[in-house]
Amino acid sequence: MPFQLPSNVTAQRRPISATSYEYILRHSELGQLGQIMLSVCVSGHCRITSLVHGQPGEILTERRRAIFEPLAKLLAEQIKPALSMQPAGNERSAMV
């Protein structure tokens, strides 16, 4: 499951709890792009939530969204089959 970020984007993985963790994506010029949170549910499914960093209506937030959303979607698509799990609902990116 190779996943390569653009050269100007980095990701840091941090545990949230025993059954969940997050990836924080940062851009070299735009700062924090957003978070992708993975939570394993009791049912064995995985909830994938993505959050864009910024305030609604700000130009910088929309620039971050344009980079972050395709990466979050690609990562979620690659994680689901690798873990044999599905997201718990149709998640969309939100703003933090």
Helix (H) / strand (E) element for 67: namely helix 59-83
Domains of the chain by residue range = 10-95
Predicted TM-score (pTM) of the model is: 0.76
Q: Tokens standing for 17?
A: 């709890």
Contacts of 88 (CB under 8 A, 6+ apart): 41, 45, 46, 47
Which of these, 5, 44, 17, 78, lies nearest to 34 by C-alpha position?
A: 5
Cα-Cα end-to-end distance for the chain: 28
pLDDT in tens, 3-25: 688 999 999 999 998 888 899 99
pLDDT in tens, 64-85: 999 999 999 988 888 776 665 4
Q: What is the mean pLDDT of the chain?
A: 82
